[in-house]
Amino acid sequence: NLKAVIFDLDGVITDTAEWHFLAWSELAKSIGIHINKEFNEELKGISRMESLERILDMGGIAHTFTEKEKVELAQRKNKYYVQLLTQMTPENIFPGIRKFLEELKKNHIKIGLASASKNAPSILDALQITEFFQVVVDPEKIAKGKPAPDIFLSAAEKLLVNPRNCVGIEDSIAGLQSIRYAGMFSIGVGTLDIMKEAGANLVLESTAELTLERLNGMFNIHAS
Ligand code: G16
Ligand code: MG
């Protein structure tokens, strides 16, 4: 049965996926690269430096920058992003998420965060939901990022729960792969086609559809 729910942050708890996109677009534009929404799907869940590499590759100019310059570009993107984050308040939590967290807590289901973002702790604070999370994995301590299973496995290990008793919730292709490789039941939040193709066990168009009753039902069918 279900013992823990492990959340992705960006695009699941709040709309920072859009803010990451805005910040990357701004940076990319400054070096003559245009990124569109379709390409952006590939960046979701991917670390800051890896995202930069993919953007530079796409623009065909990866070789024109030194490592030091790349670090500076990534820092510049983060500055745009952190600037956007100053606007964040509890109103930015996606529909139903707070209620769902309260429901999980009341029913003694453990709660973890598996976000690739180094900004995750400050975002949880700004949303005033830090108290719900028994574990927030530090992505800097994870050798292999999503789609590798490491970050979700680390969350389960710290929560002392077998991955088979965990549900992972994601909005990204890389993240859903990570959950699958970790051996957990996956929920994809987003467009049906993209989430199905990424292998989500259950697709929800909105976080408002997240309830413990629904999760338990799906989880038990899957497990039997
Ligand atoms: C998130 C985003 C990615 C972002 C990464 C690193 O992962 O989806 O787009 O590049 O975090 O974020 P930062 O630059 O803040 O360290 P997740 O796993 O929360 O979706
Ligand atoms: Mg995400």
Instruction: Please give the full DSSP string across 154-193, using - where no structure is assigned.
Output: HHHHHHT--GGGEEEEESSHHHHHHHHHTT-EEEEES-HH
Whole-prediction pTM value?
0.93
Phi/psi at 167 (5° precision): -115, 135
CB-count burial class (<10 Å; 0-12, 13-18, 19+) for 10:
buried
For the chain, the C-alpha Rg in angstroms (whole number) is 17
Asked if 133 and 124 count as a contact pair (C-beta separation under 8 A), the reply is: yes
Q: Is the CB of 51 under 6 A from ligand 1?
A: yes
Residue type, 103: E
Structure token pair of residue 54: 């993919």
Q: Which atom of ligand 1 is nearest to the CA of 77?
A: 14
Nearest ligand to the CA of 46 is 1
| Distance from the alpha carbon of residue 51 to the mean position of ligand 1, in angstroms | 9
ipTM of the complex, rounded to two decimals: 0.93
Kindly report, residue by residue over 68-117, the tens digit of the pLDDT: 999 999 999 999 999 999 999 999 999 999 999 999 999 999 999 999 99
User: Is 10 a known active-site residue?
Assistant: yes
User: Is 15 a known active-site residue?
Assistant: no
Mean pLDDT of the chain: 96
Nearest ligand to the CA of 76 is 1
